[in-house]
Structure 1
Amino acid sequence: MYNRLDKDRCVFLFIDHQAGLIQLVRDFGPDEFRNNVLALVDTARYFDIPTVLTSSFESGPNGPLVQEIPDRLPKAPVIRRPGEINAMDNPDFVKAVEATGRKQVVISGVLTEVCATFPALSLVEKGYEVFVATDASGTFAEHTREAAHKRLQQHGVQLLNWAAISSELQRDWRRDVQGFGELWRKYVPGYWCLMQSYSQAKD
C-alpha cells in the first residue's frame, strides 16, 4: 500500500541534532550532512509543516542543539529532555507531538540507530505512519546505518531522503515552480544551472 506524505497530515521531528552528537557522524561527510539536515529544515519551513525539536542531556557531552535549526524554525517547540534516550519516553515530547494532531511523522535524528530508530518504533506502536529521513540522520558508519534501516523496515517505517520527502509533499511542480525550484537550487549541487536555464527561457 502506497501511503503518501501529505503536507496537511504530517509533522516533522528533529531529534538530537546536537553539537556533541553530530561529531560522531561518519556515514556522511560533515558538509554533506549539514546540507542534508538544513535541506530538511527548509523543507519543513517551505511547506509550513508543524515541527517539534528535541535534545537530550544538553548539560552533558551531547551538547546543545545546533543553533541553525531553531533559528530557522522559530515557531517549533523545543523539548529539552533531561536524559531520556528514547524521546518518546519523555511526556513533554509526547504531548508536543500529540498537540499537532498529525498522524504522519517525519523523523530525523542523531544517531540513526538510537535517536531516530527508538522513537520511530515507539510511534509505529502507537499507530502513526512513520517516515525516516535517511540522509538527515547520521551515525558511526555505513554498516550501523544499514542495520538500523533494516530494523526500521521490518516495522513498516518508510525510508526517504530529503529530496523524496520534499517531492512527495509538493506533488506537482506547477504549485510553485520558483519556490520549490529555489529549495532544490539551494541544496542540490548543479540544480542552480537548471533553474537559471528555466528563468532565462521564461524571460
Structure 2
Amino acid sequence: MNSIQKAEFLTPNNAVLAMIDHQTGLMSCVGDEHPTVLKNNILGLCNTVKAVGMPSVITASLPEGPNGPVMPEIVDVLKGQVIEREGQINAWHSDAFKNAIKATGRKKIIMAGIVTDVCLLFPALSAVAEGYDVYAVIDASGTWNKTVQEVTIHRLTQAGVKVTTWASVLAEIMHDWRSPYGEVLGQVLTHHTTPYGYVMNSHFSK
C-alpha cells in the first residue's frame, strides 16, 4: 500500500472490521478499563460498522476452552459467523481468518481485540507487514493493566499501525453530518457515549 492510500480517510467502502477474541473468559482478564465502559465501546464500534454496511470478520481462539465464546452481543449486532481458530495465537496465522479479510478486497482493517498485547498486537503487526493499513481501536480492546496497554501502543505505532478510538473511527467514516449516514451514526454516538448523549438531548429539547 502506497503513502497516498495510507493517507486516505476511512469510508464505508474502503475498510473491514476485524473483531478478535472478544471472548467471555478473556474479558475477565481486562484491568485497563471498567468492564461496563469496555462493553459499551465494543458495541459502539460494532454498531458503527453495522450502520454503514461495512463488512466484518469475527474470530475466536479455542472458544470451547477457558477463553470462552465470543460475546453474544457482538454476534447479534454484526450477524457474522465466528471463525474458530484451531490453536493459532496470532489470528493472521489462521487461513480462514486471513482469507476472510482478503475476500473483502479492502486494504484498511479496523481491528480490536482482547487482549490488546497479544490478540490485537500480533495480527496488526502481521497485516501491516503484508501491506495492510491497520487501525487499532484501543478503547474497544482491553488488557491486563495500563502499563501493558501503554507498552503495546508504543509497539503498534512503531510498526506503523494507526492507534485510534471507536468514536474517532465513527467520525472519520461519517465525514460530514450531511452524509447519508449522518443521522444513523449520530444515534450510535448518542446511545454509546454518555457525554454526547447529553449534547443530543439538549439539542432535541429545544
**TM value normalised by structure 2:** 0.93
| 2:14 is aligned with 1:9 | yes
Q: Does 1:195 align with 2:200?
A: yes
RMSD: 1.3
Aligned partner of 1:73 in structure 2 is 78
How far apart are 1:47 and its partner, in Å? 1.3
Within 5 Å, give how 1:162-181 maps onto structure 2. Answer: 162-175=166-179, 176-181=181-186
Aligned to 2:105: 101
Deviation at 1:200, TM superposition (A): 4.3
**Aligned counterpart for 1:87 among listed residues 79, 91, 100:** 91
Aligned residue type for 1:96:
A
Count of aligned positions: 200
- 1:26 and 2:31 equivalent? yes
Q: In 2, Cα distance between the equivalents of 1:48 and 1:171?
A: 16
Conserved in 1, the CA contact under 8 Å of 2:177 and 2:183?
no
Q: Could you tell me which of 44, 56, 60 is aligned with 1:55?
A: 60
What CA distance in whole angstroms lies between the structure 1 residues aligned with 2:190 and 2:24? Answer: 27
Provide the C-alpha distance between the structure 2 equivalents of 1:141 and 1:193, rounded to a whole number of angstroms: 30
* Aligned counterparts of 2:168 and 2:23: Cα–Cα separation in 1: 25
Which amino acid counterpart does residue 187 of structure 1 have in structure 2? H
Structure 2 unmatched ranges of 5 or more: none
Q: CA deviation at 1:198?
A: 2.7
The DSSP-based 3-state class of the residue aligned with 1:85 is coil
Deviations 1:6-29 (A, max 9, x none): 221100000000010010001000
Change (3 A) 1:140 1:149: same
SS across alignment from 2:178 = helix
Amino acid paired to 2:196: Y
SS at match of 2:63: coil
2-structure distance, mates of 1:200, 1:189? 16
For residues 157-177 of structure 1, give each alpha carbon's deviation from its aligned partner in whole angstroms, at most 9, with x where no partner exists: 001100100000100011144
Which of structure 1's runs of 4+ aligned residues deviate more than 6 A? none
